Chain A
Amino acid sequence: MSAVAAKPQAGGAMNPTAMAVGVVMLVIILALCWYVSPGAGLMALVGVIIGGVLIGFGTHFVPVGGAPAAMGQAPGIATGVAMLAAGAGLAGLFGGAWAAEQGLVIATLTGGVGGGLMMAITCMMVNFVYVFGMGIPAASGKVANDPITGDSQKEFKSQGTEGHGLPFVSFVGGVIGGFLGGAGGTLIYYQLLKLYEATLPTMIGVPLVQVMPIAIAAAGMFAVGLFLVNAVLTAYNITGTIEGPHDPKFKRWPRAIVASAVASALCGLVAILIVVPM
């Protein structure tokens, strides 16, 4: 059997039973969190879940080309979903972490702008390389006309390829995806940081200023871990490549929302348990 024919046949079908089990798991984890830490912990967990869902949903917008894109045979950026999502999200996380002192809204938006900016630069440079380096125009293989500009795609698409380069809609999708991912990552970091700032001094028994490095490092590490888990789960949902919001695979997002919510709730609960007295 050739490697091409052996691509995963996951398809877009939903599994209602598993989705229901996922929602039940989510409720159980929320109840557990309410039991161990009813106030601040539960609020932080809700924030973490929202952040995780933003990451999972946002990743679907990012144009991922994988190995075919590196050979100019498929549209998108020539690397995997997990790497792109991690790149955009971590760029946003670093941006948002600087603004953490200025409150939830500014920090989250700064994170979003950081992630969006990173994706915008990446998309632009990718198109530079495609157009001026490889000499291929941008053309989508999934739609006849670009949904935003209305430009016809068929004339520019080479035979035997699924399209190539980065059409305008993919560029816009990449920026939206980077924004959502960066904002989600920062939201997770911010929620955990505030929780640790409030609980770590009493837990270790020293002033806040002395344990601030631990609060920042632990919140950052958990945010990175949660980000990678969500990004890889979304990558499993997309299975390979996606062109952007106009791709038929984009319709799989409800599965990723449930998956990200459960995974974020689980990992978030563990992150909260670290400051719960045992």
Chain B
Amino acid sequence: MTVTSPTLKSYLECFGEFEAGVAGRDPRWLRELRREAFARFCELGFPTTHDEDWRFTDVSAIAKTTFRLTRDGRYNVSPLQLKPWRVDGAGCQLVFLNGRIAPELSVLGTLPENVKVAGLTDAIRGDSSSVEKHLGRHLDVRRDSFSALNTAFVEDGAYVHVPRGVVVEEPICLLFVSIPGASPVMNHPRNLILMDEDSQATLVEEYVTFGEGSVFCNAATEIVAGDHTVLSHYRIEREQADTFNISTLSIHQGRSANVASHSVLLCGALVRNNVHPVLAGEGGECLINGLFLGSDNQHIDNYMLVEHASPHCSSRQFYNGILDDHAHGVFHGRIIVHKDAQKTDAKQTNRNLLLSDDAQIDTKPQLEIHADDVKCTHGATIGQIDEDALFYLRSRGVDEASARNMLIRAFAGECLERMKEGPARRHVEALVNCYVRQIAKTVGDSDSEGESG
């Protein structure tokens, strides 16, 4: 399958303009990386529902639309406008507008000495050896066309380097703002996070839109978590209802590295959340925790690929979905245990709460086990609000909307409980409370309409 010609033409044009512009002056290794990735994208094309990894998600709306890169320019965004999007207790917050860093809006804060937090462009223009060594090494460009597309247009994003033994206590926050234009726009933020041996950090990626209009945000993050590192990664999706968001998180874990990935998906028209940890060193641990809330016609697809490549590693996947109206959720949990990964302990749980008869969830475990001494379990549940619990709460004086809110919040709370106490969790909790309240209110509304009708 190749890209259909009108779309290919527009991507070719975009790539041509991109290379002729600022990207043309980048180092040769980077230009080659982009060219190879673009060629691969052209070969792969956009996936279709015939592709097993995309069986439940139709991306033809993205494939059919002609998106353009935005030109580097000034946007009408003031620091005041960003106030509601700041994270209390953050160590720093880098702000990106359509994928490019906006230094005047970013808050550098106080991070430990030697910790480097910068725009990827700046990192490439400085001493680019570490970028060259890692960029594109962990993302599966061969197999995944969105990763290929992101790599073809790699330009800016966040570059974080935490040196050996350093503990960063406050979260490093990255805010990605998409700004729609008169015609559909796309951006391809690319983050590279390098954690040296024995370091610790918390990273928060948040995706939002300012304004209305069609946006395609295709983000990718590569994390190298060295031996004995401890990392919490948060991804918060709260873009607007006409945004397509594809994001991919690839994590390479060293020996005894402990990584937690928390995805909180609250908004967006079509969201695909790829999480791909590779437990490459012995004794690694990863927690893949997620919460997705969908309403209206939202489509939220979670594709987990947990690769056990070394012995004595453990992975825990917990995803909770809450779907209302005509929302469609997908959970695809793939676990690959390589031949040598003995004593693997992998667990996967996907729980779903459907709030309407028209909401839909497709949940699919996929276990590929090539070792013989492993423990792998998986389970999925789909349910509705427990009417007995609802009546119990109401009989104690809690009104119906509040009772629903309490029950939905309790279900969402299972995911929040797995986050470490701190500013990042508090930030997520406040957002989740707000979205749950909204969803609980509208569920109550549609019910009372049903009763009177």
A and B interact physically: no
